[in-house]
């Protein structure tokens, strides 16, 4: 939006005043007597914004609404993708309405299922053949980004441990639990991404979430993606008992379990470094080459096993290695976020 030039005037003995464009104020629901927040941004700009509780409130003035119209190309999957995208962009009220095509039961059920299983704080507040209205009730402090991260990471680690246990014991029920848990990981990932988007747009939200500065939001987004990918690889491992009728032998299962334990520790170390800002711990995780040695041991052992069992073990070993690599990616992000502190300590220690 193009800016407007306004003259600054002096009033009383200590204040400068500037007027707001009337059309803008009316569009944003600002009335005479309302309060706005003025935030200094660097040495050459200031930002005028609504108070935080109005800017991101669950409903009413200041709530951000969006509408999706159903047309002939609107499959259940495409509508779900649009709803998730609007959720990630920070909208608090989302309408899905009948447009040029009917709003069928399959489409409605897909949206309701996605809202229930994948979007933190979202509720269906209106549901009919004409449309669905979704309201995001959670605010920025109801669930902290750190809290969501910790829950997401805990789930991802548990999925890895359980997937390997399901393979070792050929436990189909446990494997299905791991696959189901992936929706929960994605659910927290979507929530964190939404909060990061709000923080980038509003410094008040940035402060509430304790993220430090806007560039950190990009780093946290990279971490979210790495944790999500770790969960995806745990799901790939868990599919093994569903695809094959027999368990992998104890010798290979033991090696895979050892490898998974190493990857799980790497993920734990990287995430601990993230929450504590520990540069040294992150560097240790990046430099760790133990997973490569453990994978070579698995590959060596498969040369003496059955061809099908060897294929399965090699495939699982690759998924475990990829999880370890994502742990290293998280650790590298932590290094980038904390390099200033690390170099400052080095400078102070120099003679």
Instruction: Read off the pLDDT of residues 279-333 as tens digits, 9 standing for 90 and up.
Output: 999 999 999 889 999 999 999 888 865 688 999 999 999 999 999 999 999 999 9
pLDDT in tens, 44-76: 677 777 765 444 333 333 458 899 999 888 899
Angle at 136 between CA 132 and CA 141, to 5 degrees: 175
pLDDT-based confidence at residue 144 (cuts at 50, 70, 90): confident
Q: What does the pLDDT read at residue 165?
A: 95
d(CA 183, CA 118): 6
Is residue 334 a contact partner of residue 274, using CB atoms and an 8 Å limit? yes
> Which of 15-29, 53-67, 329-343 comes out lowest in average pLDDT?
53-67
Q: What does the pLDDT read at residue 26?
A: 77
d(CA 17, CA 30): 17
Strands 93-98 and 122-128, how do they pair? unpaired
d(CA 288, CA 72): 52
d(CA 340, CA 116): 41
**Between 79 and 339, where is the model more confident?**
79
C-alpha atoms less than 13 angstroms from C-alpha of 3 in its C-beta half-sphere = 6
Q: What does the pLDDT read at residue 184?
A: 92
Q: What does the pLDDT read at residue 345?
A: 54
pLDDT in tens, 80-139: 999 999 999 888 899 999 888 888 889 999 999 999 999 988 999 998 888 999 998 865
Is residue 136 a contact partner of residue 58, using CB atoms and an 8 Å limit? yes
Q: Map residue 277 onto helix, strand or coil.
A: coil
Specify burial of residue 272 (Cβ count, 10 A radius: 0-12, 13-18, 19+).
middle
Q: pTM for the full model?
A: 0.76
């Amino acid at each position: 939006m193009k800016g407007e030039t306004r003259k600054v005037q002096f009033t009383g003995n200590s204040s400068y005043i500037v007027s707001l464009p009337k059309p803008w104020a009316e569009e944003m629901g600002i009335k005479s007597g309302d309060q706005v927040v003025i935030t200094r941004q660097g040495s050459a700009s200031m930002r005028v914004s609504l108070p935080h509780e109005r800017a991101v409130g669950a409903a009413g003035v200041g709530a951000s609404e969006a509408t999706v119209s159903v047309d002939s190309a609107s499959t259940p999957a495409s509508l779900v993708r649009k709803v998730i995208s609007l959720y990630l962009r920070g909208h608090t009220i989302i309408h899905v309405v009948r447009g040029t095509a009917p709003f069928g039961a399959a489409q409605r059920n897909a949206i309701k299922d996605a809202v229930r299983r994948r979007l933190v704080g979202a509720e269906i507040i209106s549901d009919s053949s004409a449309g669905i209205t979704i309201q995001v009730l959670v605010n920025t402090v109801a669930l902290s980004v750190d809290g969501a991260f910790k829950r997401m990471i805990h789930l991802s680690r548990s999925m890895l441990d359980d997937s390997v246990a399901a393979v070792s014991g050929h436990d189909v029920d446990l494997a299905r639990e791991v696959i189901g848990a992936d929706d929960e990981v994605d659910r927290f990932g979507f929530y964190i991404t939404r909060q990061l988007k709000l923080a980038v747009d509003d410094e008040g939200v940035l402060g509430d979430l304790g993220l430090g500065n806007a560039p950190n939001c990009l780093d946290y987004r990279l971490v979210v993606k790495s944790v999500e990918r770790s969960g995806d690889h745990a799901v790939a491992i868990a599919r093994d008992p569903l695809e094959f009728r027999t368990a992998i032998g104890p010798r290979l299962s033991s090696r895979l379990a050892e490898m998974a334990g190493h990857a799980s520790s790497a993920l734990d170390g990287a995430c601990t470094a993230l929450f504590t800002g520990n540069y040294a711990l992150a560097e240790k995780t990046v430099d760790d080459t133990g997973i490569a040695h453990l994978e070579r041991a698995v590959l060596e052992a498969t040369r003496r096993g059955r061809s099908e069992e060897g294929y399965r073990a090699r495939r699982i070993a690759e998924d475990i290695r990829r999880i370890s690599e994502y742990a290293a990616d998280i650790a590298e992000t932590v290094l980038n976020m904390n390099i200033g502190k690390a170099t400052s300590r080095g400078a102070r220690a120099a003679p």
